[in-house]
Structure 1
């Protein structure tokens, strides 16, 4: 089916619609001329109904078919253009958000540098300024690296390093690292359940997933973040659920939340900053691992649950395992 994928391109649809329209006009012209010639030659000897009945039926059916083809082609082009306009709007919003996200730390660093240049800042204050500038620089570096990695992931240029891992100790360790990274108190994240199973993973990519989901919980929490993380294994999958107490997600936004550039506007958190790429990035990483991610929320101000399912090593198809491990730059080992 992939070799016919080009038929979905709007230019091809437009060309086919024009061909259908020209064919329709050509058939009608041919029908008119043919009838004219027949009646001119034998019109006084043969009943017109006998000559034209079958031809008229054929021309009618063919004309209707081509007309439907033209209308269908125009409708598909309209749908495509509508989607392109929507994407353009999202892209414009994305450019604005990224520009703001890039300018904020740069402006902050510039302010600290100018302050240190104008005033004689020494001792503890100087260390404080340097720490704040380093924090802004790290934020800037993280954003730039995120954009580059998303681009590389889409173009399949990221060098993944897959391995077989025992999940529970690995995931608990990655969650602890993320909590320290975001300065979250120990009692803000509660991990429950057990996961006595193994998966083929790229730990760096899974760390990105955990970072983004925890960051998302922080951004959309009304007060202090409270996050519950449940671990479980079933016969086919490793399941991890991130349950927050934030502003929640409406049913219509649940269908859009993982799309590229999409951001949810919520009146309870109107000043949340972001690029609209975090959850899209998460979805692509999980998809690359052969898993799936979904979100559930009972509604506004009732929190959200992000559920990730990854195929466990024991029941994963051998071909899939080999394809992941083949592109890894490391030897297969069990980190458990």
Structure 2
């Protein structure tokens, strides 16, 4: 027997509620009109000396206002409930994905340890197994750190180290570090363009941005991996265009990819690992830098382009000065608080 989607019940309840308040409104109008007619017909006959007024127009308007207010309140409740249900589903998916991401390296480490404990291995094999365990431990550590960093970012507890850099030089340097970290094949990455514009960034934070984009390009390029990065200045902004030739993203999913816990689904590679936090994290980091990120794709199997925009220092000096002073004071407060807790 096919299970009915929970959204169907939600929609049916919402429709029923709307019909109920419309029926209530109709009954209220009917009651007012019928009573007005009755008062007009029999009022003088019952007491000619006493003037009996029909139902007040203020009573009629007040009743309608009350019914409309109830309807509005119901709509707000249903809308908030719908948002909460969607967040709950996304959160459940996140828990399932994180659990899988945590269990996989743990199971791998356990298997290697049991093998080392139960068998006589040559020094070469033992070292190879230990190297595998170190990589799995690093993977676990990176996952846990990313979750903690996102939590700190949302609570505005991160003390970033902002500095002024030459845009092209710092981006090329960070890209080279990321390429070496992910061990990208030769000729799979190209950087074009140049700019003498200066930008104010936290290098570590921006490396997280590039790491996430490169990681996504690797995951969603099942055939040939090629990443193209273009650097240029445009209208007081420094632009980084990050393109790959992967599976692409359909238009419906493009609207959601920067939401927390959301993961792009691709039927041809359904088992892509991830938590749904990467692009959300990227977006939050860039917003903290006064920048933004947008995504474009012509469709499935046509690649994806991310456009990063960062404000150029000379055009936003006042904004950066205020930001840096505020962050410096905040960093001092955080460090003072941490030292007191110790």
The TM-score normalised by the length of structure 2 is 0.81
Q: Displacement of 1:306 after TM fit?
A: 0.6
Q: Displacement of 1:123 after TM fit?
A: 2.3
CA contact (8 A) 2:294 2:307 kept: yes
From 41, 46, 49, give the equivalent of 1:45: 49
Alignment partner, residue 153 of structure 1: 153
Secondary structure of the residue aligned to 2:249 is: coil
Q: Displacement of 1:141 after TM fit?
A: 0.5
Secondary structure of the residue aligned to 2:321 is: helix
CA contact (8 A) 1:229 1:241 kept: yes
Alignment partner, residue 97 of structure 2: 97
Per mean C-alpha deviation after superposition, the further-off stretch among 63-72 and 200-209 is 63-72
| CA displacement 1:234-274 (0-9 Å, x = unmatched) | 23101001101111111111110000000111101111010
Q: Displacement of 1:46 after TM fit?
A: 4.9
Alignment partner, residue 266 of structure 1: 266
Q: Take 1:121 and 1:226, find their aligned partners in 2: how far apart are those partners?
A: 40
Alignment partner, residue 129 of structure 1: 129
1:161-200 counterparts in 2 under 5 A?
Answer: 161-200=161-200
CA contact (8 A) 2:224 2:245 kept: no
Alignment partner, residue 211 of structure 1: 211
The answer to whether residue 301 in structure 2 is matched with residue 304 in structure 1 is no
Q: Take 1:180 and 1:87, find their aligned partners in 2: how far apart are those partners?
A: 37
| CA displacement 1:88-130 (0-9 Å, x = unmatched) | 1111110010000001111111111111111122322122111
1:1-336 counterparts in 2 under 5 A?
Answer: 43-48=47-52, 51-52=53-54, 56-328=56-328
Alignment partner, residue 10 of structure 2: none
Q: Displacement of 1:222 after TM fit?
A: 1.9
CA contact (8 A) 2:105 2:137 kept: yes
| Bigger relative CO (Cα 8 Å, ≥ 6 apart) | 1
CA contact (8 A) 1:292 1:309 kept: yes
Structure 1 residue ranges (4+ consecutive) displaced by more than 6 angstroms after TM superposition: none
Secondary structure of the residue aligned to 2:315 is: coil
Secondary structure of the residue aligned to 1:322 is: helix
Which stretches in structure 2 are left out of the alignment for 5+ residues?
1-23, 333-342
CA contact (8 A) 1:192 1:229 kept: yes
Alignment partner, residue 15 of structure 1: none
Q: Take 1:321 and 1:305, find their aligned partners in 2: how far apart are those partners?
A: 32
Q: Take 1:43 and 1:323, find their aligned partners in 2: how far apart are those partners?
A: 79
Q: Take 1:276 and 1:84, find their aligned partners in 2: how far apart are those partners?
A: 18
What is the number of residues matched between the two proteins? 294
CA contact (8 A) 1:238 1:311 kept: yes
Secondary structure of the residue aligned to 1:164 is: strand
| CA displacement 1:167-225 (0-9 Å, x = unmatched) | 11111111111111111023111101112111111111101000000001011002231
Alignment partner, residue 11 of structure 1: none
Q: Take 1:228 and 1:316, find their aligned partners in 2: how far apart are those partners?
A: 28
Which stretches in structure 1 are left out of the alignment for 5+ residues?
1-20, 331-336
Q: Take 2:230 and 2:286, find their aligned partners in 1: how far apart are those partners?
A: 17
Q: Displacement of 1:45 after TM fit?
A: 2.5
Q: Take 2:70 and 2:317, find their aligned partners in 1: how far apart are those partners?
A: 45
| CA displacement 1:20-41 (0-9 Å, x = unmatched) | x9xxx9xx9xxx9xxx9xx79x
RMSD: 2.4
Q: Displacement of 1:133 after TM fit?
A: 1.0
Q: Displacement of 1:322 after TM fit?
A: 2.4
